[in-house]
Each structure stands twice: as structure tokens, then as C-alpha cells.
Amino acid sequence: MQTHTPSGNAMLDPAADPTIPVPERPTPRYMLVFLGLFILTIIELGVAFVGLSRIMTIVALIVLAIYKAVLVALYYMHLRFEPTRLRVAVLAPLPLAFILVLAVLTEF
């Protein structure tokens, strides 16, 4: 809402101004995400020491870690509720990071 002072200068009332973006996203169930992260961490510990084959252990642990990281990014960092353009921008360095590791790995 814009009000006008006697001098004619526009004053903005941030508490009522509809042009100031107030978050409209639904509030995620933070404790549910926390429970998920906790359970996934327990599963990780189990996978690490249960005696699976080396390859299976590595693949399972990496998948679990990525899943946990995605949960944090989507719900705690609210990436799920951000504009698509920002999400694309955030994802942009991931292929570059992959290329960085892959390119150096080929040296061996």
C-alpha cells in the first residue's frame, strides 16, 4: 500500500505493501524431512558395515548420500518452491563438476 506524505513523497508501508513478495509457498513438513534424513543416515551406517560387495556398497552409499543432499536442497533450502530459472541456474554447475572429476580421472 502506498500512502502519500503531505510533501507528496511516496512512503511505502512494507507491512501492507503487496508489491513486497511475502512467501506464498506451502510450509514443508520439516520434521518429516528430518526423520527421513535420520533414517537414511542409519541405513547408510548399516550399508557401510553389513558386508555387501565393494561395488554395491559404494553405489548404495552414493545414492543414499545424493538422496539426502537433494532432500536438504529441496526442502530446507526451499529449492522446490523457487522459480524454475533459479533451479536451472543451481543445477548448472553440477554437470561441470562431473566433467571436472571425470576429466581428471581419465588421466589414470
Partner 1 sequence: MTTATAVLETRRPMPGMGVYNMKLGMWVFLLSEVMFFTSLIGAYIILRAAHPDAFAEPGVVLNVPLTAFNTFVLICSSVTMVKAFAAIEHGDQAGLKRWLIATALLGMFFVGVQVVEYIKLAEHGFVPATAAYAAAGGPLYGVTFYTMTGFHGAHVSIGVLCLWFTVFQAFRGRYTREKHGGVEIMGLYWHFVDLVWIILFTIVYLI
* 100 binds partner 1, rule: CB under 8 A: yes
* 61 binds partner 1, rule: CB under 8 A: yes
CA distance between the termini of the chain: 63
| CB neighbourhood size of 28 (10 A) | 14
Kindly state the cell numbers that stand for 2.
502506498
Torsion of CA 81, 86, 91, 96, to 10 degrees: -170
* 97 binds partner 1, rule: CB under 8 A: yes
Q: Cβ 38 to partner 1, closest distance in Å?
A: 7
Amino acid at residue number 43: I
Q: Give the footprint of partner 1 on this chain (CB under 8 A).
A: 11-15, 17, 19-23, 27, 30-31, 34, 37-38, 41, 44-45, 47-49, 57-58, 61-62, 64-65, 68-69, 72-73, 76-77, 82-83, 85-86, 89-90, 92-94, 96-97, 100-101, 104-105, 107-108
